[in-house]
């Protein structure tokens, strides 16, 4: 009776960045960048590709984008929305 | 009574104390009325002439003042028998912990008068007692916090040593205080004992997210329906003032195991904590009735009180459809303009009749 790997696919993400985790009842808001990242995670896209996509989508040339994506992913993990291992995109 | 295509019983419901620590009665009644096939009448059974649910004209068609259960089963029955004659009740749904033993004991008398119930047996009721939580966990195959009983500080100290601080001190019927020190625990022991008597329940503290599941057991080990909810906002009394239905399968699993293990018949509320430490879902307690937030079940597409009334009347219900995850409620506190005539009727005559001429 423990949680299985959290399924990002279950997350309900609105256009305004309001996010609802239907398993836990947790709600939170993310900015546009966070929303885009979560949508890509839901689609099973990996962190490297997400960073690339953000660079081109938001015309960011900073090399720190990859690090920022990784940080975001660790926050996502902390909130129990993807497993430490297994479901890692 | 029920007939083909209609659902028209007279249902009596208790617990109209819709205060900041509300009874479930008004929520149960709103669920009955939310059933699109319901054509029946609702009779409210109140314990206090100022129970707010009395004064909402769209809640109960009739209201009767009842003696408190502490006055004894006979006093309850004497009044109830008069109400049955007066209002021709088909089903009664008690909603308060303290009155359940009386209604369970009176089940046969009620049936003899044509009044149906859908309640646990006394044995089932006793098995889910907080004092027997560890036995229940073993019986149902669900993890529970380690639990001890204490009647005096010495036993409390011993329990704290075994369980480790912090501990939770609970009353037999109500209340829970997390105690981080022995001083706090002793104060809680005395406060809880003064309110709810002895012994007090001393429980291992399991930190984590708490969830509540309102459920309905069929009495044969099956689960007719279950609505899991996470509280989004708590009052200073720890009551949920807002919440949302959730879809965590482990919550339904715990509930299903409990209903199967007890062969529970009737409504209940299962309280569960998802441990931060080991990720397991621990059963905290089982309340033997619908919770105050039960209207959420109707909103989420799984009307448990209506199903309970139908089962009491002998209808066959296998499983209700799954509830809609993400259905939210927010309780509202507002000033209701009350009829002074209603106040007079309940004070002077112990009843309010709003359906005169309709029946």
pLDDT in tens, A15-49: 999 999 999 999 999 999 999 999 999 888 998 99
Whether the pLDDT of residue B355 is over 80: the answer is: yes
Interface test with A, best of B243, B250, B261 (most A CBs within 10 A): B250
Please compute, for residue A18, the number of CA atoms within 13 A of its CA located in the half-sphere on the CB side: 4
B248–A12 C-beta distance less than 8 A: no
* Interfacial A residues in 13-72 facing B (CB < 8 Å): 20, 22-27
The structure's pTM equals: 0.91
Distance from CA of A47 to the nearest CA of B (A): 26
ipTM over 0.90: no
Instruction: Judge whether B5 and B39 are in contact, CB under 8 Å.
Output: no
Structure tokens at B94: 């008690």
Give the pLDDT of residue A79: 78
Mean pLDDT value of segment B174-188: 92
In angstroms, the CA B352 to CA B54 distance is 8
pLDDT of the residue at B237: 80
User: Which residues in chain B are contacts of A12 at CB distance < 8 A?
Assistant: 326
Query: How is chain A split into domains, by residue range?
Result: 8-78
Note whether A2 contacts B279, CB cutoff 8 Å: yes
Query: What share of chain A in percent tops pLDDT 90?
Result: 39
Lowest mean pLDDT among A79-88, B95-104, B164-173, B331-340: A79-88
User: Which domains are present in chain B?
Assistant: 10-118+334-353 (3.40.50.20), 146-204 (3.30.1490.20)
Q: Is the CB of A22 less than 8 angstroms away from the CB of B229?
A: no
The answer, for A84 touching chain B at a CB cutoff of 8 Å, is no
Question: How far off is chain B from A53, nearest CA to CA, in Å?
Answer: 31
What band does B6 get if pLDDT is binned at 50, 70 and 90?
confident
Question: Of A23, A26, A27, which has the smallest distance from its Cβ to B247's Cβ?
Answer: A23
Cα separation of B283 and B253, whole Å? 11
pLDDT at residue A83 in the model: 58
Higher model confidence: residue B27 or residue A56?
B27
pLDDT band at residue B5 under the 50/70/90 scheme: low
Instruction: State percent of chain B over pLDDT 70.
Output: 98
Can you tell me the mean pLDDT for B214-239?
94
CA atoms within 13 A on the CB side of A45: 16
Q: State pLDDT tens for residues B106-119.
A: 999 999 999 999 99
Locate B6 and state its tokens.
Answer: 């209609």
pLDDT tens for B246-259 read 999 999 999 999 99
Give A-chain residues touching B247 at CB under 8 angstroms.
Answer: 10, 22-23
- The total number of residues shown for chain B amounts to 359
Whole-number CA gyration radius for chain A: 13
B351's CB contacts (< 8 A; 6+ apart) are B62, B63, B64, B65, B86, B345
pLDDT in tens, B287-303: 999 999 999 999 999 99
Look at the domain A8-78 and name its fold.
Arc Repressor Mutant, subunit A (1.10.10)
Of the candidates A1, A10, A24, the beta carbon closest to that of B230 is on: A24
Q: Tell me, what's the pLDDT at A87?
A: 45
Q: Which residues of B touch A23 (CB under 8 A)?
A: 246-249
- H/E run at residue B45: strand B41-46
| Record: contact B230-A1, CB cut-off 8 A | no
How confident is the model at residue A78, as a pLDDT? 81
Tell me, what's the pLDDT at A85? 44
Question: Which residues from chain A sit within 8 angstroms of residue B280, using beta carbons?
Answer: 1-2
Top residue of B140, B142, B247 to mutate, by most chain A CBs within 10 Å, is B247
Angle in degrees, 0-180, between the axes of helices B182-196 and B153-163, rounded to the nearest 10: 130
Rounded to whole angstroms, how far apart are CA atoms B185 and B178?
Answer: 8
pLDDT, residue B3, reads 43
Judged by CB atoms closer than 8 Å, whether chains meet at A3 and B279 is answered as yes
Q: What is the pLDDT of residue A59?
A: 77
What would the pLDDT profile of A46-87 be if each residue is shown by its tens digit?
Answer: 989 999 998 888 777 777 888 889 999 998 888 777 655 434
Residues with Cβ within 8 Å of B245's Cβ and at least 6 positions away in sequence, in order, are A25, B227, B228, B229, B296, B300, B323, B324, B325, B326, B327, B328
Contacts of B137 (CB under 8 A, 6+ apart): B143, B144, B283
What is the pLDDT of chain B when averaged over all its residues? 94
């Amino acid at each position: 009776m423990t949680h299985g790997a959290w399924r990002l696919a279950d997350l309900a993400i609105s256009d305004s960045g309001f996010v609802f985790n239907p398993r836990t009842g947790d709600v939170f808001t993310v900015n546009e960048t966070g929303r885009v990242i979560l949508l890509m995670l839901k689609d099973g896209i990996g962190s490297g590709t997400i960073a690339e996509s953000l660079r081109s989508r938001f015309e960011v040339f900073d090399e720190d984008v990859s690090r920022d994506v990784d940080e975001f992913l660790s926050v996502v993990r902390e909130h129990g929305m993807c497993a430490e291992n297994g479901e890692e995109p | 009574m029920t007939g083909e295509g209609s659902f028209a019983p007279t249902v009596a419901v208790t617990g109209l104390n819709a205060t900041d620590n509300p009874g479930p009665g008004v929520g149960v009644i709103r669920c009955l009325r939310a059933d699109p096939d319901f054509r029946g009448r609702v009779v409210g059974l109140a314990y206090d002439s100022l129970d707010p649910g009395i004064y909402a004209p769209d809640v109960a068609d009739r209201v009767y003042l009842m003696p408190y259960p502490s006055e004894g089963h006979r006093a309850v029955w004497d009044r109830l028998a008069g109400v049955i004659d007066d209002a021709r009740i088909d089903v009664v749904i008690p909603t308060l912990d303290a009155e359940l033993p009386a209604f369970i004991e009176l089940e046969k008398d009620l049936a003899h008068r044509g009044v149906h119930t859908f309640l646990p047996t006394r044995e089932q009721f006793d098995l889910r007692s907080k004092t027997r939580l560890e036995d229940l966990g073993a019986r149902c195959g669900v993890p529970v916090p380690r639990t001890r009983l204490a009647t005096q500080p010495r036993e409390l100290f011993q329990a704290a040593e075994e369980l480790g601080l912090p501990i939770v001190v609970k009353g037999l019927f109500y209340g829970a205080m997390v105690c981080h020190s022995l001083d706090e625990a002793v104060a809680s022991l005395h406060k809880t004992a003064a309110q709810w008597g002895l012994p007090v329940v001393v429980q291992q503290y399991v930190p984590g997210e708490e969830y509540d599941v309102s459920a309905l057991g069929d009495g044969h080990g099956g689960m007719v329906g279950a609505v899991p909810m996470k509280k989004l906002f708590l009052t200073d009394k720890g009551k949920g003032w807002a919440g949302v239905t959730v879809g965590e399968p482990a919550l339904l699993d715990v509930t299903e195991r409990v209903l199967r293990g007890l062969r529970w018949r009737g409504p209940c509320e299962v309280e569960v904590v998802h441990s931060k430490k080991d990720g397991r879902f621990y059963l905290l307690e089982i309340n033997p009735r619908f919770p105050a937030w039960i209207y959420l079940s109707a909103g989420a597409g799984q009307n448990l009180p209506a199903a309970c009334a139908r089962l009491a009347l002998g209808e066959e219900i296998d499983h209700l459809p799954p509830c809609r995850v993400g259905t939210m409620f927010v309780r509202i506190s507002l000033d209701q303009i009350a009829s002074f005539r209603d106040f007079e009727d309940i004070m002077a005559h112990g009843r309010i009749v709003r359906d005169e001429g309709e029946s």
